[in-house]
């Protein structure tokens, strides 16, 4: 390998791989340094892909999607083991890594396995597995090291009964009961996935609500669904201590309440994986959660030739947005024009049921003082929903009363993360209520919910746009 590169990327997750491949397509010499066992970063090995694969495996083996017809006792496989859950996971991960390695090879991106550490602002040393230390110089750098689970000293992690969100993928048995601390995206996803396996779950959150960036009406519907299937929600409850006793884990909450379970997942936050980078040598400083601050348009850090992208810079911490951040950073670093992405991008929460949202929430619209109206569609109102046995799920659309412009789409239920893209396209193209009311959707589909919700909003408009009733 060379001693000097145009762009050195530390980390091979969504932001890192997109940046390196973009740089290579410009004809630049790009080097990717990855300290994990294989390329792919957190997204491939412990985050996005594994958790979604686990979710799909659970829904298939448990027969979750057919229970609307056959009852809650219906199961495809009576006894589901941890080995059953891992089988599909390992196959998926192997495929993802092979695709990524092929992309790097095809685009002539150099990769090296080892831990990177800054020596000075333009030089790093890479500590390889065999003890070899490589010194490499870069004209520009992109830090895409991602995050790792936040592990307070007060939590008695043991990798068996008290786990973080990385370790939960390596469990040796399906727990008889589970306590999840933290009702953020990760906590909610795992809580609902294990609940779909009929594992009794208690979800504890110190704040009074969950997923505060999601429309409140959607969260109310989601919360009702969780309680309806037996998930115990302890919102606004602070954890005082956690102890292991007689094969169980006991979480003590302020006020005297306890949650006793077979296994406990601590998923209350993540922090930047910047500990080993020796940031000081590069003139960089991280915040209290070990994340880096960047310019929102260019992704430059306080040191102009060093960029950062992905989860290490914080919200929104999505694989999709991280890829775009990596692309834009690589373009700027190499002096190439970069087309900025559209204003609105979707959020996807792969809980059971799924949640997906794009645009403004009702709370945001009201706060901005925009006169608006909402339309609601229930999945059970669609023929496709009835065919699928869906008794829950909803779509909410928000429109401007003055211009009829679509302002936001919010979905909870089966297929939400796929359905959202129709709303995303119309939103970014500045489409209006008329598009949905006058358009034709395949029948029977869940996408018909767009027309149902739009007609619901149309009926509430003080001055209705011209449209034929459905």
Give 258's strand partners: 252
State residue 169 phi and psi, 5-degree precision: -75, -10
Evaluate if residue 185 carries a pLDDT over 50. Answer: yes
Predicted local distance difference test score (pLDDT) of residue 131? 85
Predicted local distance difference test score (pLDDT) of residue 75? 82
Helices (H) and strands (E) in the chain, counts: 14, 22
pLDDT band at 154 (very low <50, low <70, confident <90, very high): very high
Predicted local distance difference test score (pLDDT) of residue 45? 60
CB contact set of 279 (below 8 Å; sequence gap of 6+):
118, 285, 286
Q: What is the mean pLDDT of residues 431-449?
A: 95
Burial of 453 (0-12, 13-18, 19+ CB in 10 A): buried
Q: What is the value of pTM for the model shown?
A: 0.91
Give tens-digit pLDDT for 286-329: 999 999 999 999 999 999 999 999 999 998 888 889 999 999 99
Q: How far apart are CA 134 and CA 351, in angstroms?
A: 43
Evaluate if residue 87 carries a pLDDT over 90. Answer: no
Q: What is the mean pLDDT of residues 422-445?
A: 96
Predicted local distance difference test score (pLDDT) of residue 46? 65
Give tens-digit pLDDT for 383-398: 999 899 888 999 999 9
Question: In 262-386, where do the E strands start and end?
Answer: 263-266, 270-272, 306-308, 347-349, 355-359, 372-378
- Residue 237 tokens read as 């409850």
Which stretch of 41-50, 216-225, 344-353, 396-405 has the lowest confidence by average pLDDT? 41-50
Predicted local distance difference test score (pLDDT) of residue 180? 98
Predicted local distance difference test score (pLDDT) of residue 208? 94
State residue 450 phi and psi, 5-degree precision: -60, -45
How much is the mean pLDDT over the chain? 92
Predicted local distance difference test score (pLDDT) of residue 465? 53
Residue 99 DSSP SS3: helix
Transcribe 410-454 into DSSP letters: EEESTTHHHHHHHHHHHHHTT-BHHHHHH----SS-TTHHHHHHH
Predicted local distance difference test score (pLDDT) of residue 1? 67
Q: What is the mean pLDDT of residues 161-166?
A: 94
Q: How far apart are CA 247 and CA 263, in angstroms?
A: 9
Buried b (16+ CB within 10 A) or exposed e, 345-359: bbbbbbbbbbbbbbb
Predicted local distance difference test score (pLDDT) of residue 72? 78
Residue 112 DSSP SS3: strand
Residue 155 DSSP SS3: coil
Strand 306-308 to 162-164 pairing: unpaired
Half-sphere exposure of 65 (CA within 13 A, CB side): 14
pLDDT band at 470 (very low <50, low <70, confident <90, very high): very low
Predicted local distance difference test score (pLDDT) of residue 264? 98
Q: How far apart are CA 141 and CA 135, in angstroms?
A: 14
Predicted local distance difference test score (pLDDT) of residue 94? 84
Give which of 215, 194, 202, 199 is closest to 59, Cα–Cα: 194
Give which of 144, 112, 143, 142 is closest to 129, Cα–Cα: 112
* Vertex 325: Cα angle to 147 and 344 (nearest 5): 110
CB contact set of 292 (below 8 Å; sequence gap of 6+):
143, 272, 274, 284, 286, 301, 308, 312, 313
Q: How far apart are CA 337 and CA 392, in angstroms?
A: 46
Which stretch of 94-103, 180-189, 233-242, 417-426 has the lowest confidence by average pLDDT? 94-103
Question: In 36-177, where do the E strands start and end?
Answer: 110-113, 115-120, 123-127, 133-143, 147-149, 162-164
Q: How far apart are CA 167 and CA 441, in angstroms?
A: 43
Please count the other Cβ atoms lying within 10 Å of the Cβ belonging to residue 70: 11
Structural domains in the chain, sorted by start: 4-149+271-333 (3.50.50.60), 162-268 (3.50.50.60), 347-460 (3.30.390.30)
Q: What is the mean pLDDT of residues 160-178?
A: 94
Give tens-digit pLDDT for 320-330: 899 999 999 99
Half-sphere exposure of 146 (CA within 13 A, CB side): 24
pLDDT band at 49 (very low <50, low <70, confident <90, very high): confident
Give which of 128, 61, 30 is closest to 330, Cα–Cα: 30
Residues 142 and 309 sit within 8 Å (Cβ to Cβ): yes
């Amino acid at each position: 390998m060379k001693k000097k590169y145009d762009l050195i990327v530390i980390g091979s997750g969504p932001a890192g791989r997109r940046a390196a491949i973009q740089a290579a397509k410009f004809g630049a010499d790009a080097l990717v340094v990855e300290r994990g066992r294989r390329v792919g970063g957190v997204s491939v090995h412990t985050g996005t892909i594994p958790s979604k694969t686990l979710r799909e495996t659970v829904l298939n083996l448990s027969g979750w999607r057919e229970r609307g017809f056959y009852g809650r006792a219906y199961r495809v496989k009576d006894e589901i083991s941890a080995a059953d859950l891992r089988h599909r996971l390992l196959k998926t991960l192997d495929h993802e890594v092979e695709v990524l390695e092929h992309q790097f090879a095809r685009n002539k991106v150099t990769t090296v396995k080892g831990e990177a550490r800054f020596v000075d602002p333009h030089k790093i040393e890479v500590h390889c597995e065999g003890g070899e230390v490589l010194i490499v110089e870069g004209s520009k750098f992109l830090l895409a090291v991602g995050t790792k689970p936040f592990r307070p000293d007060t939590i008695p992690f043991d990798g068996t009964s008290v786990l973080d969100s990385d370790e939960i993928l390596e469990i040796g048995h399906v727990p008889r009961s589970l306590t999840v601390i933290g009702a953020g995206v990760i906590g909610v996803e795992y809580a609902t996935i294990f609940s779909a396996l009929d594992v009794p779950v208690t979800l504890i959150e110190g704040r009074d609500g969950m997923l505060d960036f999601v429309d409140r009406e959607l969260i109310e519907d989601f919360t009702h669904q969780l309680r309806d299937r037996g998930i115990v929600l302890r919102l606004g409850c602070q954890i005082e201590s956690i102890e292991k006793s007689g094969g169980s884990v006991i979480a003590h909450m302020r006020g005297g309440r306890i949650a006793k379970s077979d296994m406990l997942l601590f998923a209350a936050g993540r922090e930047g994986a910047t500990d080993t980078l020796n940031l000081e040598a590069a003139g960089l400083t991280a915040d209290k959660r070990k994340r880096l601050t960047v310019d929102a348009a260019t992704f430059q850090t306080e040191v102009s030739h060093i960029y950062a992208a992905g989860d290490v810079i914080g919200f929104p911490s999505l694989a999709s947005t991280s890829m775009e951040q990596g692309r834009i950073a690589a373009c700027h670093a190499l002096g190439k024009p970069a087309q900025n992405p559209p204003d609105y991008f979707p959020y996807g929460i792969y809980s059971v049921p799924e949640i997906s949202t794009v645009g403004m929430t009702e709370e945001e619209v009201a706060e901005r003082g925009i006169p608006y109206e909402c339309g609601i569609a229930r999945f059970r109102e669609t023929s496709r929903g009835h065919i699928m046995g869906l008794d829950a799920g909803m779509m909410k659309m928000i429109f401007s009363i003055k211009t009829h412009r679509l302002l936001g789409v919010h979905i909870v239920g089966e297929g939400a993360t796929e359905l959202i893209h129709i709303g995303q396209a119309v939103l970014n193209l500045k489409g209006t209520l008329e598009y949905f009311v006058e358009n034709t959707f395949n029948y029977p589909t869940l996408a018909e919910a767009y027309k149902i919700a739009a007609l619901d909003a149309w009926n509430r408009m003080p001055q209705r746009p011209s449209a034929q009733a459905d």
